[in-house]
Amino acid sequence: MNPTSITLLGGLTTDQFLAEYWQKKPLLVRGAIPGFTGLLSRDDMLDLSCRDDVESRFVSQAGGWTIDRGPFARAALRRKTKPWTVLVQGLNMLLPQADEMMRRFSFVPYARLDDLMVSYATDGGGVGPHFDNYDVFLIQGMGRRRWRIGNQTDQTLIKGLPIRILKDFRPVHDWVLEPGDLLYLPPEWAHDGIAVGECMTYSVGFRATPAQDMAEQFLVYLQDRVKLPDRYRDPDLKSQKHPAKIGAAMVDQVAEMLGRIRWNRDTVRDFLGSYLTEPKAHVFFDPPARPLNEKRFAAALAKRGIHLDARSQLLFADSRFYINGESATVARCDRATFKRLADERRLPAFSLDAASLATLHDWYRCGFVHLS
């Protein structure tokens, strides 16, 4: 995408980064985001962890590793024995600046992106030495954090703990990250980040869906689309010695029947579009209380433009568009406009073909997009 070198990647071009580092080896970039000290204050972040529409975790090391899931009460957090850390997922869905920050990593396709997480830790706090199955960019916000990382093959975890802690962590690098520094880690690199004084860290995480999960979800998707109109029939039925036996002819007929379940590349594409844009369990949209009718909506669009809701996922493939688990076909003449909306997540004032207008109006009524 971007042929020029970028500060975010320490002067590498995005192509160089993808070829040399992505899913291959770590990269430490000092001053990746010059002047960056964070996107929100500690208090605002802890307030988020108290909301029931936000996914948060509390991890403590005091008296053995423990984990609690939010929402939390601020007073209860204040009483906790230090060191501890609180982690808030999906900051990109809660704060426009967080979404902007996450989109700085759009040299990796949105289909691979998961979310932006933020953590706050008291001095000495962290989640312990572990490995993740996904790529992550760790960006230091307020304060400093010491990161030790290693590429050990021994992934044995300590048994009986509520969180995943490596039994024998063998770091090969030891760095203290300052505000604005970035550390990229490929999947399965062992790491341990310990707050040096209180600190906040932002992580852009990616998807690493297990093939088994993908297969199971595909079968669920297929289940709603399979069409086998025939019925089991056996006009040639013969008497059999054991009435309890499932006859070979029955097995053959059902094998032939199920062999007629078909899918092709388009089915897989549509499954992926639906699967990748499906909102997470705690995500709900807020439809407008008094939506404009289609005619007024079109007029407003032509004056104000539109933007995606921070929680919306819009992806496309070929002529199909996928938003929050649903799919739509867009008229050829409007496809470039919809693609721009998907890439940039907003559009200046514009007008649309009637069929595409109905689609966008539908998305607006669902709360997936908003007039700017």
Rounded CA-CA distance 259/344 in Å is: 43
**Among 40-48, 59-67, 127-135, 313-321, the segment contacting Co ion (CB under 5 A):** 127-135
Question: Smallest gap, in angstroms, from Cβ of residue 85 to ligand SIN?
Answer: 6
126 binds, among Co ion, ligand SIN, none (CB under 5 to 8 A by kind): ligand SIN
The single residue among 55, 99, 115, 132 that binds Co ion, judged by CB under 5 A, is 132
Q: Which residue, 114 or 132, has its beta carbon nearer to ligand SIN?
A: 132
Considering only residues 164 to 193 of the shown chain, the ones binding ligand SIN according to CB under 6 A are 191, 193
Is residue 184 a contact partner of residue 27, using CB atoms and an 8 Å limit? yes
313 binds, among Co ion, ligand SIN, none (CB under 5 to 8 A by kind): none
Check residue 83 for interaction with ligand SIN (CB under 6 A).
no
Close Cβ partners of 271 (under 8 Å, ≥ 6 residues apart): 217, 218, 221, 222
The single residue among 132, 181, 270, 309 that binds ligand SIN, judged by CB under 6 A, is 132
Rounded CA-CA distance 349/297 in Å is: 12
CA 152 to chain centre: 27
70 binds, among ligand SIN, Co ion, none (CB under 5 to 8 A by kind): none
Considering only residues 90 to 129 of the shown chain, the ones binding ligand SIN according to CB under 6 A are 119, 126-127
CA 290 to chain centre: 31
Considering only residues 194 to 223 of the shown chain, the ones binding ligand SIN according to CB under 6 A are 201, 203
Question: Smallest gap, in angstroms, from Cβ of residue 126 to ligand SIN?
Answer: 6
Q: Which residue, 191 or 361, has its beta carbon nearer to ligand SIN?
A: 191
Q: Which residue, 115 or 132, has its beta carbon nearer to Co ion?
A: 132
Q: By beta-carbon distance, which residue lies closest to ligand SIN?
A: 119
201 binds, among ligand SIN, Co ion, none (CB under 5 to 8 A by kind): ligand SIN
Question: Smallest gap, in angstroms, from Cβ of residue 200 to ligand SIN?
Answer: 8
Considering only residues 335 to 364 of the shown chain, the ones binding ligand SIN according to CB under 6 A are none
Is residue 325 a contact partner of residue 314, using CB atoms and an 8 Å limit? no
Give strand ranges (E) for the chain.
27-29, 56-60, 66-69, 84-88, 113-121, 130-131, 136-140, 144-150, 173-177, 182-185, 190-196, 199-206, 306-308, 314-317, 320-323, 326-329, 346-347, 369-371
Give Rg (Cα) of the chain.
Answer: 25
Size of residue set near Co ion by CB under 5 A = 1
Q: Long-range pairs for 338-344 at CB < 8 Å and ≥24 separation?
A: 341/306, 341/308, 341/314, 341/369, 342/110, 342/314, 342/315, 342/316, 343/106
Q: Which residue, 191 or 311, has its beta carbon nearer to ligand SIN?
A: 191
Is residue 205 a contact partner of residue 108, using CB atoms and an 8 Å limit? no
Q: Give the per-residue SS3 of 25-39.
A: CCEEECCCCCCCCCC
Q: Which residue, 183 or 306, has its beta carbon nearer to ligand SIN?
A: 183
- Binding interface with Co ion (CB under 5 A): 132
- Binding interface with ligand SIN (CB under 6 A): 85, 119, 126-127, 132, 191, 193, 201, 203
